[in-house]
Structure formats: structure tokens, C-alpha cells
Structure 1
Amino acid sequence: MRCSCCQKELIRNLTLRELFCSASLRCYHCEEQFTKIDHATACVGCGRKNSVKLCRDCRKWQQTSGFVLNNKSLYQYDEGFRKWIEAYKFTGDYRLRGAFATELKQALRMYRGYLICPLPLSKERFKQRGFNQVSACLALTKVPFEMLLQRKELSPQSEKTREERLLMAQPFKLNVESEKIRNQRVLLIDDVYTTGRTLFHGAELLYKNGAETVKSLTFAR
């Protein structure tokens, strides 16, 4: 059995929990690289750590958009997560998609009854990368999801500054008939919550087309 993160052989006795959760089994070294966010002490709007009240950014989103996303994030975006996302997303090591499949599946249990929607890539970006980094992780959880949104052909987020991200035009259009989401609860899933602009664009479009509630879940914040 290999570590789902570094791919090195695991040579240790496994607990029952590890045996049943082997889809995201990490070695001790890799386990130490990820820092979980304590939701009890995080901003209820965006998941920012150590911000019990609605943080300043979320108060601004509430004023401009009229809602907050109630975003939950699995991990902090620290050095350990940065190394993982660079190897997985930008280098294209598809084997790393299972690094936290068990934790992701556990988090999704809080959203029973929601339509699960990973944020899409543009056709050009998907062609370059060969996979959607979010839906590839989701597929390992066996939880059904649907691409409710389609991304327009715009320049990638990673090439934009914070200010440019916040001013970005709507990058999405519906990929389904509006009846599909009318009066439904939707959970948007992305890899990293940075400014929140992309997730808010997705939520705004879904609300505009009749969604009852839109929340988000990200791998890191």
C-alpha cells in the first residue's frame, strides 16, 4: 500500500480506521503537512481561521451581493497544502487526487439533499491539464455530482492579482436548464478559497436562476 500523497510505500501496522479509509491513506510525514481548520473558531461566511464573527471581507460580500456563502474549508492554505496543490494541479500528478478523499467524503455528509457542483474549468484549461482537479477528487468519494455550470473562455485565475480577481467579469453560464436548480440547495466545490470572487459568481448565477440556497466547500482557505 502506498501513501496517497507522496506515493511512497507504507511500512507500518494499520489500524482498523486506516484500513477502512485507505482511499486517502497518508503516511505520517504527509499527514503532518496538512493543517485542518477548526470550524468552531472560523468565520461562518468564508471559513477564515480564527475569525469567530463574520470577517471584514464577508461583511463586504454581504453588502455587495446580499448573501454570504457559509463556506467550509478542509485545510489551511499553508506550505504543506501549497506543495500538494502545485504537484497535483500544476505539475499534473493525477495520483495525488486521493490525498484526502476520506476527509472530503466525511465533509459532504453535512450536505445531504444538496446538488453537488464542482466548479468547471474552461475547455482550454481542461485540454492543457487533462483533468478537473476538483471533480477528480470528488469522484473518489463516490458521492454523485453534476456540472451545473460551464466556464467561459477567460484567462485563468492563477494569472490574476487579487484586485483583478475581484473585478473579474462573470465567468460562468448555466450548463443545465434552469428548472434543474429551481428551488434546490446547491453546494459549490472548489480547490482553494482565495478572494471568494469565483465562488460568488457561481452562487449569483445559481440564485438568479432560482436556487433556494447556495453554499460552498473548498479544499483549502
Structure 2
Amino acid sequence: MTNPKKDKSLIYDRILESATNEFADKGYAGARMDEIARQAKINKAMIYYHIGDKEALYNAVLSSTFGNMAAAMGKNIIWDKQPSENLHIYIQTISQAIRENPRIPPIMLREAASGGKNLPEGVVQALTVILEVMAQILKQGVEKKEFHPASSFLIHFMIAGPLIFLQQMEALIHQQINRIGPEKILSKWPDDISGEIETLVFRAISTNA
């Protein structure tokens, strides 16, 4: 016998995967519900039944990533820990979310280019929670004299910005490094990007740097 709940979940996941690819390739304005249905191998009416219109679908795609990221931070960051340990968890949580959702960076870069005009309210709320976590980590770090005072916005985007950009541009960057030669730019592609970013962030704000 088939399991209706399992079948519904599988259809939902197929829709989200197809929608994520379509939004990543064409942006919100260029994405077409017919194409999402074709990729998911269902009829378009099923999308409206399971999720809703294009706006609801876009919200579901982004909220699944950013909502999970905010939830992971709420679970993994423990305020009795040292601020430096929580900052490490913060960086690794963002890095893991981007690694597990490689089609999200192109969507977010398109949103950045458009001024965030299609960014769903649920995503804005999740990002607000994430930024509040960063602000609290920095505040505790200053109080415990581990960190210098710093803008939570700037530190967050020192972390998220390179991770999103490099995820999208990795192939092109490798191509250019190979063409120019790493010896000429005095650098090579880091083996651990999130680790390199973490080192730079700690150098910027640590009182022991």
C-alpha cells in the first residue's frame, strides 16, 4: 500500500527542488510555473495545491534554508559558552547551510542586485533572528574582553558575503588563478574557505590578535 503522507512529502520536495533550480537560473521575475511543473514532472495545478502561487513558492524555497539556519543557531549556540566558541558555531552554521544548498547563493546574489525587492517577509524575519544572534555574540565578547566593539552587520557580511560569492564564482576564480598563475597573485585557493574566513574575522575583532 502507498503512504499518502510520504507521497505528499516526496511531491513537495520535488517541487521545491525544481523551483530552486528555476529561481537560481532565471530569478524571480524570469521563473515560470510551467517550467517548474515540467521539471518536477507534475501538472501545474499540483504546485498550487501543495504550495501555492509563485510568491508562495519563492518563499518556501528561501524560508526552508534561512529558517533552518536560524533554527540551527538557536539549537547549537549556548550562551554559557565562550563568545569565541559561539562565533565559531555561527560561522560553521552559515557555511554548512551554503554547502548543503548550493543553488541558494545565485538566488541571493540576484536579490542583492535587485535591492531585495522580492525577498519574502519570512526570510527577512529569519535573517533578523540570525543578525540578533551575531549582535549578542559580539556583545558578550566585548563584555568578557575577548572582542573589540564591532558592527554586527559588518561582521555578519564579512562571513556570509564571501561564502555566498565564492560558492557561485568558484569555477571562474579557479579558471583565472590557473590562467594568471598563483605565484603572480601570491595566493592559492584555500582548502578550507570557512576556516580562512574565521581566521580573518577573529583577527579583526579579537583582543588577543
TM-score by length of 1: 0.33
Q: Which has the higher strand share?
A: 1
Query: Of the two, which has the highest radius of gyration?
Result: 2
TM-score by length of 2: 0.35
Q: Which has the higher helix share?
A: 2
